[in-house]
Chains A and B, each alone.
Chain A
Amino acid sequence: MSTSKFEPSIISRPVYGKLSAQTASHNLLIADAQGAEAIIEMAEHAPKSFFEQAHIIYIQKGTADAYLSQLESLGANQLYIGPTYQAALPRILNTLENTQVGIKLYLAGTEGLIGQVIRDATRFGVAMSDIQTEHRGSTARRIQCVHCKGIIEDVTVDPFQCSHCGLFLFVRDHYSRRIAAFQGVRVDAEDPGNIPEAVERFK
């Protein structure tokens, strides 16, 4: 069961579950913003030894130090705090590349973070069955403009203007796992200039 509520969608749209601590020799937890809450909640039911084998990478993404003391008190073997995904990326990639079979991944927070880590982890060979996810916080979308291929992060309104090529894009539920983004398609392709008013669809 997903923690966040999403509007009804097509069947291929990613879905998220609830984190539940498994016994494993290596645990890698990556979260952004309110995703910290998922880790903190999971910890309540986790076996004692869980965090001794755990590496937490936490991205504040505007939450400042709201969750830091709680995360610190979990006693993880390693805890990294970074302000943005971009800042944390080298560490995420380096960690994924150097892990071993047996690693379990716990991802929590926004779709953009979860999707991008899944994309990179599976590229390094982590099995999907070893990845748990829990969506928390903003439902803003990471979108690829299908025309110019530019990526726009944290889109909340539909339609919206591509910040790379300037076209007005309709936000589809069609998701690309390879790119870790939803698809944005020109909204006035058939009738140039006819651009519906933008509505806030994602918060």
Chain B
Amino acid sequence: MTAGTPKINVTVESVTPLNALITRFTFRESCGKDLPAFSGGAHVVVEMDDHGTKRMNPYSLMSDPNDTKRYSITVRRDDEGRGGSLYMHSHVKAGMEMVISTPVNLFSLDLTAKKHLMIAGGIGITPFMSQIHQLTSTRAHFELHYSVRSDALGAYLQELTQSYPKNLHVYRDDQDEQLKLAELLNGQPVGTHVYVCGPKGMIDWVRETAREADWPDSSVHFEEFTAPKSGNAFEVTLHQSNKTISVDRHQSLLEALEASSVEVPYLCRGGACGQCETNVLECDGNIEHNDHWLTDDQRLSKTKIMPCVSRFAGKKLTIER
């Protein structure tokens, strides 16, 4: 069994800083072959060798899905984060060889929708960039509601304003502009689908407001855009492999498993796809569930953990790996 999707060797074609925090990276296939086509909303997992620590972070593809010559991702520098984004910003240079995964889409458009209502917060704009490419090629009806801290920190704001003046609605924190969500979600024509990508609070807000306005779940799509959280170090006993490993502060449980050569299936590395679901055999303490996958009942029962994002605090955790 190999975890994840097939790997692709790529060469960094360009590194383009867009503002103080955000940089775009463009990759080409290293031997000049075509890259696999993808659909709007797909992500790739980028592998990094961060001074001996292997990091694999998911990033949404933001380039045109029809362009098989190159892929682009946009990375926001997170100074408090675990280091993946810092590594991208400080170490990745044009010409460098890297390894990425084949694209996977866990945030795809529903093409039966009559209208696509997109809600983006900050760097959550990236999956919408490829989706908008896809939608404009079929002249589909879309509206983009984009919340940014300020004009200066809004990635792709100029480009979007120029290309889609009628579709774009911008809300700037520093101008106290706020999306009136309940008004937006009430009265949308039947057949509208809503998509949200941004901080967790924003996703919860949209899902909750949609539920209050009687939106069917099948018309509400979301993707949280965070790398796994850092936390306190902890130990885990692996029942099948018969060993105990430690997970350090800036490492996810999945990364710790991989570092000790225990293969765990994964796709998203962001708590959304369900691939890494692992049975908990013994839990004396608390699991910090950071995923979007498990049900509330499963969480309360302490019988499952998603190693890509979730952590543990307590005396003893034994998992079936």
**A residues at B contact (CB < 8 Å):** 24-25, 96-104, 124-130
Contact = CB atoms under 8 A, between A and B. Distances in A.
A127 B214 CA distance: 11
The 4 closest A-B pairs by CB, nearest first: A125-B191, A102-B214, A127-B216, A99-B190
A104 B213 CA distance: 12
Interface residues of B, number: 18
B189 A127 contact: no
B178 interface: no
B215 A129 contact: no
Given A101-B219, A102-B186, A126 B191 contact: yes
A129 B192 CA distance: 15
From B189, B217, B218, residue with most partner A Cβ within 10 Å: B189
Given A101-B185, A101-B219, A126 B214 contact: no
Contact of B213 (A102, A127, A128): A102
22 contacts: A24-B214, A25-B213, A99-B190, A100-B188, A100-B189, A100-B190, A101-B185, A101-B188, A101-B189, A101-B190, A101-B191, A101-B213, A101-B214, A101-B215, A103-B190, A103-B214, A104-B214, A125-B192, A126-B191, A127-B218, A127-B219, A128-B218
Given A101-B213, A101-B215, A125 B188 contact: no
B239 interface: no
Interface string B210-229: 00011111110000000000
Given A124-B191, A126-B190, A126-B191, A102 B114 contact: no
A98 B186 CA distance: 14
B187 interface: yes
Contacts of B185: 101
Contacts of B112: 125
Q: Which of A101, A103, A126 has the most CB of B within 10 A?
A: A101
A126 B114 CA distance: 10
Contacts of A126: 190-191
B216 A129 contact: yes
Nearest to B191: A125
B113 interface: yes
Contacts of B192: 101, 125
Nearest to A127: B216
Contacts of B215: 101-102
B114 A129 contact: no
Contact of B187 (A96, A100, A127): A100
A89 to B, nearest CB: 18
A181 B216 CA distance: 26
A11 to B, nearest CB: 22
Contacts of B217: 129
B218 A129 contact: yes
Interface string B169-201: 000000000000000011111111000000000
